[in-house]
Amino acid sequence: MLIDEGLVERSREIGAYFKGRLERIEGEHIEEVRGKGLMIGVELTRLARPYCDALREAGILAKDTHGTVVRFAPPLVVTKEQIDWAMERIEPILMNGH
């Protein structure tokens, strides 16, 4: 299924799009955005947990890891339109310090 439906290539393409959108956020507490495919982490200069809680309240599931990283791992079948929808909620939270 991964090969037949092109999910690996799709993960690369949509992941680059998502990562690029996250990299454009000008939040004062964002230190770095890194990732591979659709597994993307946003390194913060403060604890990630409050951000993840705020994201959850906005309808976005993210995991805090290593204390200061917000980890996003959407499904391989996510669309650009769904990423755009998510970014409307993610950007203000990461920009404004949750």
Domain at 85, CATH number: 3.90.1150.10
Note the pLDDT tens digit of each residue in 3-58: 666 778 889 999 999 999 999 999 999 999 999 999 999 999 999 999 999 999 99
Which positions ≥6 away from 47 have C-beta within 8 Å?
Answer: 64, 67, 68
Under a CB-based contact definition with an 8 Å cutoff, are residues 98 and 48 in contact? no
pLDDT of amino acid 2: 58
Residue 1 domain-assigned (yes or no): no
What's the chain's Rg over C-alpha atoms? Answer: 13
Determine the 3-state secondary structure of 6 from DSSP.
Answer: coil
Residues of the domain holding 48: 7-95
For residue 98, give both structure tokens. Answer: 């949750």
Q: How many structural domains compose the chain?
A: 1
CA-based torsion, 26, 31, 33, 39: positive or negative: negative
Q: Is the pLDDT of residue 70 over 90?
A: yes
pLDDT bracket for residue 98 (50, 70, 90):
low
